[in-house]
Amino acid sequence: MGKRKLYIISLDAFGADDLAFAKTLPHFQEIINRSALVKEVESVYPSLTYVAHTSIATGMYPNRHGVIHNTHLQPERQSPDWYWYAKEIKKATIFDVAKQAGYTVCALLWPVTGKSPSIDYNLAEIFPNRPWQTQVTVSAFASSMRYALAMNKKFGKMRNGIAQPELDEFITAIAVDTIKTKQPDLMAVHLVDLDSMRHGYGVLSNQAKEAIVRMDRHLGQIMDAMKESGIFEDTVFAVLGDHYQIDTHTVIRPNHLFLDKGWQTLDKKKDIKDWKVLAKAADGACYIYRRDDSITNKMILDALKGLDDRIDTIYSAKEASKMGADENCLFMIEAKRGYYFESDVRYPFMESTAKSLPDRKLHKATHGFSPKKKNYGTMLLLSGPGIDADAVIEKGRLVDEGPTFLHAIGLKFPEVTDGRVINKVFL
């Protein structure tokens, strides 16, 4: 088999339940009609964007690939740094494997790709997190600089910082231009509009529905560019989600429980200056870490009783690790539907998400929850040469996607992965 192209479009926060509406839209309909379908794909734990996309790219669970959260453990910072850079991934990615095989590689806003040596045309997902930084400068330095600056010069007027839906319009324009002018062998595009609208307005909000309509248009633009370039029929084309979302009514800030016990100290800005026990929120889930062994497990569990019936489960480190989460945590707590967690202690222990606040936004819906929660799966559509367009698979896992994508283009990871090739999608 000669070199076969692979194009992946990630629709952030697109759930299995969204397929019913997507089928009514023209470009989704075209894709669905020519694709193998995995109806319900299990995400990873915690089901956060950076964690999930790294599992897609490596075929590994979070505690194997090293990206165990969107952000680093930096409680002293109001805005912790994110896992932006490719060097933070401990395992080989599809980009690494493709590059080593002589493929040209493009990634547009794909998480954890900053400064990747394996990506020829890279516009990394990153934002300014220091007062002296700007969006253009941080993007340029984390991306393929010439390419990023050229694309910003050409399409930058479409962008409004990192706000949606303008950001997806910008990224789609770059994808179309890159397909027409570069025709990379592997392209991975991350569209985030739907995730933003669900956080801001709710899972089934009109704004979320409108975002799916915009996604349909973006998919059409990308497919049209592939058709005009004569590569559509011969390209393995994947459309996938990374996680779904769940509506919320209350935010909980568990660090108040530990602060009240004297296990944390704050600075003048009410940021956590020092700690013995810490909650690192992951929205629907929350890591608990301990520095001081004189504070027993029982003492911490007693403190967590302050959450009453607002949590589903408290996992031990061993249980969390078995689910793929960070084995270095002490516990992991899972919120009940309707609740989610924040690490901050500048605001009350609990707040209603129905509040309209001038200085900050609370999530009307979110993710991070255990992928085992009911009606919380995502999906995968896969088409192109060697793919059985009539195949319908009931269940799959996010970690299966990377190995399956590489298999579809005749490549494989250098070591055994947690994920397995989904053989039923192939002819």
CATH classification of the domain holding 333: 3.30.1360
Residue where one domain finishes, among candidates 322, 348, 366: 366
Residue 312: domain span: 247-366
Same domain, 76 and 48: yes
State residue 355's pLDDT score.
83
Same domain, 273 and 333: yes
Number of domains in the chain: 2
Same domain, 329 and 205: no
In 131-158, which positions are buried (b, 16+ CB within 10 angstroms) versus exposed (e)?
eeeeeeebbbebbbeebbeebbeebeee
Same domain, 310 and 351: yes
Same domain, 334 and 262: yes
Residue where one domain finishes, among candidates 325, 340, 366: 366
Same domain, 314 and 259: yes
Question: Which DSSP string do the residues of 212-229 spell out, in sequence order?
Answer: HHHHHHHHHHHHHHHHHT
Cα–Cα distance, 353 to 361 (Å, whole number): 9
The pair of three-digit structure tokens given for residue 96, joined into one six-digit string: 């690494």
State residue 358's pLDDT score.
80
Residue where one domain finishes, among candidates 348, 366, 384: 366
Cα–Cα distance, 213 to 207 (Å, whole number): 10
Which amino acid appears at position 171 of this protein?
I
Question: How many degrees, rounded to 5, is the angle at CA 65 between CA 376 and CA 94?
Answer: 85
Q: Which residue has the tokens 């935010």?
A: 251
CATH classification of the domain holding 233: 3.40.720.10
Same domain, 266 and 384: no
Same domain, 25 and 147: yes
Helices (H), 229-322: 255-260, 297-304, 317-322
Q: What distances in angstroms separate CA 50 from CA 152, 268, 368, one per listed residue?
A: 24, 31, 11
Same domain, 233 and 357: no
> Is 395 exposed, middle or buried, given 0-12, 13-18 or 19+ CB atoms closer than 10 A?
exposed
Same domain, 388 and 306: no
Nearest CA to 13 out of 393, 405, 396, 379 is that of 379
Which residues have a Cβ under 8 Å from the Cβ of 419 and sit 6 or more positions away?
55, 59, 60, 397, 398, 399, 400, 401, 402, 403, 404
Q: 378 has which bridge partners?
A: 41
Question: How many degrees, rounded to 5, is the angle at CA 140 between CA 138 and CA 141?
Answer: 65
Q: What is the pLDDT along the chain (427 residues), one digit of tens a residue?
A: 578 999 999 999 999 999 999 999 999 999 999 999 999 999 999 999 999 999 999 999 999 999 999 999 999 998 999 999 999 999 999 999 999 999 999 999 999 999 999 999 999 999 998 988 888 899 999 999 999 999 999 999 999 988 999 999 999 999 999 999 999 999 999 999 999 999 999 999 999 999 999 999 999 999 999 999 999 999 999 999 999 999 999 999 999 999 999 999 999 989 999 999 999 999 999 999 999 999 999 999 999 998 989 999 999 999 999 999 999 999 999 999 999 999 999 999 999 999 878 888 899 999 999 999 999 999 999 999 999 999 999 999 999 999 999 999 999 999 999 999 999 999 9
Cα–Cα distance, 111 to 94 (Å, whole number): 13
Same domain, 171 and 195: yes
Same domain, 205 and 151: yes
State residue 1's pLDDT score.
57
Nearest CA to 402 out of 175, 243, 245, 240 is that of 240
Which amino acid appears at position 283 of this protein?
D
Q: What distances in angstroms separate CA 294 from CA 84, 289, 290, 300, 408, one per listed residue?
A: 35, 13, 10, 11, 53
